[in-house]
Every structure is written in structure tokens, then in C-alpha cells.
Amino acid sequence: MNHSILTCSPYFVELAVNEIRRHHPSVVVLATLSPGCLLVQTSTPFDQFIRPFRDRLPIYLHHLAPVQQTVALHQAEQTIEKWLCRHSTAILQARILPDMVNGADAISMSPANVLLQRLQQSNGKTATSASKILSVALARQNTKWKAFIGVSWANQNISPYAGGVRPYSVQMPNRAGYKLLEALTDFGIRLRAGDRALDLGAAPGAWTMVLRQHGLKVTAVAPTEMYPDLLNDPLVVYRGMTAEEYLPHAEGPFEVIVNDMRMDAQDSSRLMVSYARHLQADGIGIMTLKLRQPNMRRLMDHSFRILRRAYKIMQVRQLVSNRQEVCLFLRPKIE
């Protein structure tokens, strides 16, 4: 039997497991090591296990890593050194999984954190999709800390980054900005400088900031104020009203429409359909769907049916930067 660590959002564990089981029905969840981090077992070799997700990103899975050896914490450092000797070109990716019982606050007091700091200090390399990765996850299982170790190629792990958490050199004022940066990367979208973008529900302005960093001219619609720097930007037109109020006055057409509004997923989808006539035929839409438990899948399906009246849904992704939401890449439907 082969073991792997599956990483996803804690809100989407059931959907992530089902996503794997559509391709590998015999997968067994052996343990929850941490919220959103599962130890799974399959009879399928790791390369075949990951194959369905090599050419197209899954919706819910953030990261998969093989587990080829599990050792007690006091044996971990010496064992990892042996693995690195056998795989001299491998990049070490070590992470600690928050304690299921005591939560993240217990991490700073645990011996695992001391080991993690030493491992991170010895590793200054950045992984690419072509890198060989030695994955090390430190987790407490049955009251004892263990190291789960395995080697793979980065392009087998869904993401080349530990746990799927991508580092960014650009600083954003809040989490929302990283959502859009991650969406652009995962969806393979290249924004064109000089294009016109409409940001619905823009305040306080993280998505508008990302669009401006890519050279777009932005119309930002929100009933509350934006960041002062954006209000003073001559290439940002601020409309202080709701997206519903702005609709009859929309100053399109736009090449890009984005929507990260805190709104019921179905209502937000209907509003996006109403704005479709203001999107260029070759334009793109990026939006988040805010989801409620326990009927997230049903809510998504209903929202997708609404959106398909005006759009082709190119891709859906539950991003690492998302919380209880998914992000969509849309193209206008050409009749």
C-alpha cells in the first residue's frame, strides 16, 4: 500500500476526498493530521495516483505529497540527512502541521518547531515545476510527533510549494489581493496593460491594486471608500455606489470584469450575468463564490447554472488564499 498527504481547505475536505475518489475509488483516509491535511492510503503508485491532475488543476486539492517513511521526531533529522544523501539534487520542503488538539498556539512550544527552524535554515533553494522535492511534514499523531517523509518531482505535487502555499514578492494590504494574484497564476491569465477593467465591490481596493499593478485602467465600484492611494490614481475611476446601482450607468465595454463581493453566491452570479453585456467578446471574468455549509456543492451547481446563461466557465479553483469560497475564470458565451 502507498501513503500520501493530501492538503486542502478545512472547509472543503469532503469535496477534496470525493475529487480523488472519482479517479481512485479505493482511497482510504487513515488519519486527519491537521485541519485540511489528511493521511491517505491507496494501492496505486504515487505517479499514477497524481496522473489525473497533471494536465489540469483539480478544484479542491492544494497539494499532494508521497509518504515513503514515517519516523519519530527524535529520529527525523538523521533520517532526513540520509534521504538528502540519496537524493542530492532534491530541494527540502519542510512544514509543521498544526496540532489537532491544541491548535496552532501549541506549535511554538513543541520540539517539532525547533526541528523545523533548523531544517528551514539549511534550505535556501526555491522549487520549480522541474525540481525534485523531499517533502517533510511534522505532525502529532496519537499524541506523538512524527515526521512523514517522501520524495517526488514538483510537477507531481499539484503545487511546487509546500502545502500549496505560494510565496509572493509583492506585498498586499490584505488577503484579498493574494486571491487575485493566485487566481491569475492558477488560471494562466495574462492581463494586458492598457485594457479597461471593472471591479465590482472593489473596496477597500486590493483587487483594484493588483489590476493597476498590471497596467489596467480600472473602474472601481463600491459603496464604501477605497484606499487613498487608489482614489488619487488618475487611472482609477471610483463610483461610490453598489454594483446593482451602477449597472444602468455602466461605462463599458470592459476587457476584464472582476467580482469579489460579499454576496450570496446565486445573487452574485445573477449580477455577473447582468454585467455580461458590458464585457468584450474576447474579455474575461474572474469572480469568487461565497459558499455556506452544509450545502456548498448544491449552491455551487445552482450558481454555475445561472452563470452559464451568459458565460463559459473555463475553470474553477478553491485557492489556497480562499476561505469558504471558490474562484471562477469566465469567458463570455458567444451565441
Sheet with strand 91-96: strands edge to edge: 69-72, 144-153, 132-141, 91-96
Judge residue 95's burial from the number of C-beta atoms within 10 Å of its C-beta, 0-12 exposed, 13-18 middle, 19 or more buried: buried
Assign 98 a pLDDT band (cuts: 50, 70, 90). confident
Give 26-62 pLDDT, tens digit per residue: 999 999 999 999 999 999 999 999 999 988 899 999 9
Residue 141 pLDDT: 83
Phi, psi of 126 (to 5 degrees): -110, 130
pLDDT digits (tens, 9 = 90+) for 121-152: 666 567 777 789 999 999 988 888 899 999 99
Cell 520524495, residue located: 151
Distances in Å between the Cα of 74 and the Cα atoms of 129, 158, 181, 299 are 31, 30, 39, 47
> How high is the mean pLDDT of the chain?
91
Per-residue pLDDT of 197-234, as tens digits, reads 999 999 999 999 999 999 999 999 999 989 999 999 99
Mean pLDDT confidence for 55-73:
95
- Closest to 246 measured CA to CA, from 261, 227, 230, 229: 261
Contact 258/285 with Cβ under 8 angstroms? yes
Antiparallel, parallel or unpaired: β 217-221 and 132-141: unpaired
Say how many C-beta atoms besides its own lie within 10 A of residue 262's C-beta. Answer: 9
For the chain, list the domains and their CATH numbers: 2-164 (3.30.2130), 175-332 (3.40.50.150)
Is the pLDDT reported for residue 115 higher than 80? Answer: no
pLDDT(293) > 80: no
The β-bridge relationship of strands 91-96 and 132-141 is parallel
Least confident of 58-67, 150-159, 171-180, 222-231: 171-180
Determine the Cα–Cα distance for residues 258 and 286; give it in Å rounded to an integer.
Answer: 5
How would residue 294 be classed by pLDDT, with cut points 50, 70 and 90? confident
Mean pLDDT value of segment 169-173 = 83
Percent of the chain that is helix, strand, coil (3-state, to 5): 35, 30, 35
pTM listed for this prediction: 0.91
